[in-house]
Amino acid sequence: MRTPEIEQRASFDFVRYANCWEDAELLLGAASLDGARCLSICSAGDNSLSLLAANPSEVVAFDLNPVQIALGELKRAAMRALGYEEFLAFLGFRESDCREATYRARIAPLIPVAAQEYFEAHLADVRDGVIHRGKFESYFHIFCRRVLPLVHSRRTVRRLLQDKTPEERRSFYHGTWNNFRFRTALRLFFSRTVMGRLGRDPEFFRHVAPGSIRHALAGRTAYALTELPTHDNPYLHYILTGTFGDALPHFARRENFDTIRANLGSIRFVLGKLSDFSADARPPFDFMNLSDIFEYMDEALFAETARTIHDCAATGTRVAYYNMLVPRLLPRALPGGFKRLDTLSDNLFAQNRAFFYGSLHVDEVLSLDGREVHP
């Protein structure tokens, strides 16, 4: 298989995402994971850790970026070594002035040498709370600290994040929030140019049509602020306030902590790309969380990747992935090899609180002659 363009063109020597900006609740609703073998994009490690709440037999979290792997190892070690409140404080969900001491005494001995080397060279990531140190998070910090105050007061932001009925959310959004300043800020700050410079790597937009980002985000933002609860949306809280507050992501919530912690022996972090998991990897994976990695591929590489996914799976395996701005569908790339579970996909996506994405796809692997055979 050809080397992905993104691997050749983008930089992978820093934390791009300190948090997973995809809703773990959707992944956990996509398949029965009890006893399953799972393959998952690592990213910040959060959602791969969240999969452990469903008691899978194994989670293989992989990433092209060695720093993201180091981050996943750090979070696993923190969950293993620390009590719940200590865990929140160490990662940055709560205030702390002893993160470096905690890291040296209790975390560093538990992580691989490569991860130790990275964090020793970037101790500011530890001291400041690692969940705030990604490039994407820095982008949102600029928005909430410099741009949003020009649009809305803190009081108005607090009102948006209060628990409301759907009717109250719609009334507040249309009557107060969605003013000219907000629409202008959304159009400019979340444009391809600004997001590519300050948030994601410009190479991530290589296959995105010009002008499509701001138009797509406007509709998705309106949906998230009117049709879904805002008071417990972790992604919205972080973007608007620079912190999660009490709206914690799934892996960091108290009710999930003990189960995930008990299953930490079932996750391993692997530096590599999807094509490294060939047909020789057995047993096959029962579930795959592939994020939006297809966005970064041209059509030819996507078709090759679809075949690789099929080779790594069994008939009946479920594959979850997002389309953000580039339409990529496995059933089209490998006809007869996949079937989209339309009702499940659409019902889950309607609950999606991470409102960057245009669609969620949960596909089921078929035998290549199109027959559904469930092992």
Task: Record the tokens describing residue 358, joined without a space.
Answer: 């245009």
Measured CA distances, 188 to 147, 165, 183, 375 (Å)? 10, 30, 9, 51
CB atoms within 10 A of CB 155: 8
Q: Return the closest-CA partner of residue 158 out of 222, 243, 94.
A: 243
Strand, helix or coil for residue 317:
strand
Q: List the end-to-end C-alpha distance of the chain, in Å, as a whole number.
A: 28
Tens digit of each residue's pLDDT, the chain (375 residues)? 545 554 555 566 789 999 999 999 999 999 999 999 999 999 999 999 999 999 999 999 999 999 999 999 999 999 999 999 999 999 999 999 999 999 999 999 999 999 999 999 999 999 999 999 999 999 999 999 999 999 999 999 999 999 999 999 999 999 999 999 999 998 888 766 666 565 565 555 444 444 556 667 788 899 999 999 999 999 999 999 999 999 999 999 999 999 999 999 999 999 999 988 865 557 899 999 999 999 888 899 999 999 999 999 999 999 999 998 788 999 999 999 999 999 999 999 999 999 888 899 999 999 865 444 334
What span, in angstroms and rounded, lies between the C-alpha atoms of 241 and 161?
10
pTM for this entry? 0.92
DSSP 3-state assignment of 37? strand
Total length of the chain: 375
In the chain, what are the domains?
5-133+260-365 (3.40.50.150), 135-241 (no CATH)
Q: How far is residue 187's CA from residue 74's CA, in Å, rounded to a whole number?
A: 36
- CA of 121: how far to CAs of 118, 154, 308, in Å? 5, 36, 36
Angle, CA 357 vertex, CA 353 and CA 363 arms, to 5°: 100
Which amino acid, 6?
Answer: I
Give the helix ranges, DSSP H, for the chain: 5-9, 24-28, 46-51, 66-81, 84-91, 99-102, 113-121, 123-127, 135-142, 154-160, 166-172, 180-189, 192-194, 212-226, 234-241, 254-262, 299-311, 330-333, 342-349
> Residue 45's closest CA among 198, 200, 270, 199?
270
For 203-215, b/e burial (b = at least 16 CB within 10 A) is bbbbbbeeeebbe
Two tokens, residue 18: 């300190």
* Cβ 340 vs Cβ 347: under 8 Å: no
